[in-house]
C-alpha cells in the first residue's frame, strides 16, 4: 500500500513536468533518472539545502537560484571550492544529465534551480519521506557567492543560538530549523565534522551503556583523534541511515547525535523550544513529515530580487549563458 502511494505520487510529479514540456517520454526519463541515481540521492538533498550562497536553503544568503551549480571560470569564482563545500557536495553530474535531456526536449524552459528543488523533493520521496508540491518558475543566477559560502552556512560545531539566528535571518522559524534538520535522518557526515563531538561531550549527553560504548568506539575507529582521516564517513542516523523516518530525533533523545549542532537541539541549556520539538517529532513521525514538507516549501521559495529580475534559465547548469 505504501509503495503504491509512493508510485502514484511520483507519477503525479512526472505529470507536472509533462505539463511544462508536453513530452511524455520526458516524464519517463525523469523517473528513470531518479531511479538509477538512488546512490547519490543524499547528495542531491544536501546540495539543495546546504548551498552556501545561492540556493534552496536560506541558511543561504542569496536565494534559491542554482548558484551552487556554477563551475569556476576565468571571470567567475564558483562556490564548489569554498571551504564549507569542498568534499561535501556531490551529484552534480546527475543534474547535468537531467538538464541535458530537458534542454534537448524543451530548451530554455526549466531552470537549474527548479531541477535541484524537484530533485531534492523526489530524493526524499524515494527513500520513504513525504511528498510536497514544489512551486516552479525559479530563475538561475548569473553570479555565485564564494565569500558568502565561506561565512553564511551553519557548521557542525556552531552554537544553537547562532544557527537559530541564521535561519531567522532568512525568514525561517525555530520550528522550520528543527524540522529541516530532520533531513539528517539520511546521509553521511565526514570525520572532520564529527571529531569534536565524539571526543567532546558525546559521553556526557549519551550516558554510558554497553551499546553506546560500542557505537562510540566504532566512531572513534573511523575518526581518529588527531588530524587525518578527515573524509572518513559515518551515517548521521545509525539506526536507519537509508530511510527517511524520525529515528534521527529518537537518537537525539538518547543523546547520541553524531554532530554537535544536531545534539544541541536537544541537549543545549538553550534548547528550550527546540527540545520540545525534538521530543514531538521523535514520538510522532507524521507531525515531522508534515512540518518537514511545509518547511521545505518555505525554504525553496526563498528568492533573491536580483535573480528574480535579472536571472535566466541556464542552458548548462555549470555556466552562465553567453
Ligand atoms: C541546521 C543547520 C545544519 C547544519 C549545521 C548542518 C550540518 C551538516 C553537516 C556538517 C553535514 C555533513 C557534511 C559532510 O561531512 O560532508 C551535513 C550533511 C547533510 N545535511 Fe545538513 N546541516 C544543517 C541543516 C540541514 C538541512 C536544513 C538539511 C535539509 C533540509 C540538511 C541535509 C543534509 C543531508 C541530506 C546531509 C547528508 C549529505 C551526504 O550524505 O552526503 N542539513 N549537514
Closest protein CA for atom 13 of ligand 1: 189
> And the C-alpha cell for 255?
543523546
Q: Where are the alpha helices (DSSP H) in the chain?
A: 2-21, 24-36, 41-50, 92-105, 112-126, 146-151, 160-169, 174-181, 191-198, 202-206, 210-222, 247-253, 260-267, 272-283, 285-300, 305-310
Q: List Cα–Cα distances, 196 to 156, 227, 261, in angstroms.
A: 9, 11, 11
How much distance in Å is there from the Cα of 50 to the middle of ligand 1?
6
Closest CA to 205 of 249, 254, 246, 155: 254
Dist. CA 23–CA 13, nearest whole Å: 14
Predicted pLDDT of residue 209: 87
Predicted pLDDT of residue 48: 54
Q: Are 107 and 270 contacting, i.e. CB atoms less than 8 angstroms apart?
A: no
Q: What is the pLDDT along the chain (322 residues), one digit of tens a residue?
A: 333 333 333 333 333 333 333 333 333 344 444 443 433 444 555 555 565 333 333 334 457 899 999 999 999 999 898 887 888 888 899 899 999 999 999 999 999 999 999 999 999 999 999 999 999 999 999 998 888 877 778 899 999 999 999 999 889 999 999 999 999 999 999 999 999 999 999 999 999 788 899 999 999 999 999 988 999 999 999 999 999 999 999 999 999 999 999 999 999 999 999 999 999 999 999 999 999 999 999 999 887 888 888 999 999 999 999 9
Classify domain 172-295 by CATH number: 1.10.420.10
pTM: 0.86
Under CATH, what is the fold of the domain 2-153+302-310?
Peroxidase; domain 1 (1.10.520)
- What is the number of the ligand 1 atom nearest to the C-alpha of 158? 5
Closest CA to 152 of 162, 143, 142, 161: 162
Q: List Cα–Cα distances, 316 to 43, 106, 153, 168, 261, in angstroms.
A: 19, 13, 26, 33, 35
Predicted pLDDT of residue 34: 44
Q: What lines the ligand 1 site, CB under 6 Å? A: 42-43, 45-46, 49-50, 57, 88, 154-156, 163, 177, 180-181, 183-184, 186-190, 193, 259, 261
| 2-153+302-310 and 172-295 share one fold | no
Predicted pLDDT of residue 27: 36
Closest CA to 30 of 88, 106, 101: 101
How far is it between the farthest Cα atoms of the chain?
61
Domain ranges for the chain, please list them. 2-153+302-310, 172-295
Mutate to test the pocket of ligand 1, among 43, 48, 49 (most ligand atoms within 8 A of CB): 49
Closest protein CA for atom 10 of ligand 1: 156
Predicted pLDDT of residue 259: 98
- What is the number of the ligand 1 atom nearest to the C-alpha of 186? 35
Rounded to 5 degrees, what are φ and ψ at 280?
-65, -45
DSSP one-letter code for 140? B
Dist. CA 237–CA 292, nearest whole Å: 17
- What is the number of the ligand 1 atom nearest to the C-alpha of 45? 35
Closest CA to 31 of 101, 92, 80: 101
Amino acid at each position: 500500500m505504501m509503495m503504491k502511494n509512493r508510485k502514484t505520487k511520483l507519477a503525479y510529479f512526472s505529470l507536472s513536468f509533462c505539463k511544462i514540456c508536453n513530452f511524455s517520454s520526458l516524464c519517463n526519463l525523469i523517473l528513470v533518472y531518479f531511479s538509477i541515481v538512488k546512490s547519490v540521492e543524499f547528495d542531491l538533498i544536501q546540495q539543495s539545502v546546504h548551498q552556501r550562497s545561492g540556493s534552496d536553503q536560506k541558511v543561504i544568503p542569496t536565494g534559491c537560484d542554482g548558484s551552487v551549480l556554477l563551475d569556476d571560470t576565468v571571470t567567475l569564482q564558483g562556490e564548489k571550492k569554498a571551504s564549507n563545500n569542498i568534499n561535501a557536495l556531490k551529484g552534480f553530474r546527475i543534474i547535468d544529465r537531467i538538464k541535458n535531456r530537458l534542454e534537448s526536449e524543451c530548451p530554455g524552459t526549466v531552470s537549474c534551480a527548479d531541477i535541484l528543488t524537484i530533485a531534492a523533493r523526489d530524493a526524499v520521496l524515494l527513500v520513504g519521506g513525504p511528498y510536497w508540491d514544489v512551486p516552479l518558475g525559479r530563475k538561475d543566477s548569473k553570479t555565485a557567492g564564494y565569500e558568502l559560502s565561506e561565512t553564511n552556512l551553519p557548521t557542525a560545531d556552531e552554537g544553537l543560538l547562532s544557527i537559530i539566528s541564521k535561519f531567522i535571518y532568512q525568514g525561517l522559524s525555530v520550528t522550520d530549523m528543527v524540522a529541516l534538520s530532520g533531513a539528517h535522518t539520511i546521509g553521511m557526515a565526514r570525520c572532520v565534522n564529527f571529531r569534536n563531538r565524539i571526543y567532546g561531550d558525546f559521553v556526557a549527553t549519551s550516558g554510558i551503556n554497553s551499546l553506546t560504548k560500542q557505537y562510540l568506539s566504532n566512531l572513534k575507529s573511523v575518526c581518529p583523534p588527531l588530524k587525518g582521516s578527515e573524509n572518513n564517513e559515518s551515517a548521521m542516523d545509525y539506526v536507519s541511515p537509508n530511510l527517511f523516518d524520525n529515528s534521527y530525533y529518537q537518537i537525539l533523545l538518547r543523546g547520541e547525535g553524531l554532530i554537535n549542532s544536531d545534539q544541541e537541539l536537544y541537549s543545549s541549556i538553550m534548547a528550550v523550544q527546540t527540545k520540545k520539538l525534538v521530543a514531538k517529532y521523535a514520538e510522532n513521525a507524521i507531525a515531522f513529515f508534515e512540518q518537514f514538507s511545509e518547511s521545505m516549501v518555505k525554504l525553496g521559495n526563498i528568492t533573491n530580487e536580483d535573480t528574480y529580475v535579472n536571472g535566466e534559465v541556464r542552458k548548462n547548469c555549470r555556466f552562465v549563458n553567453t
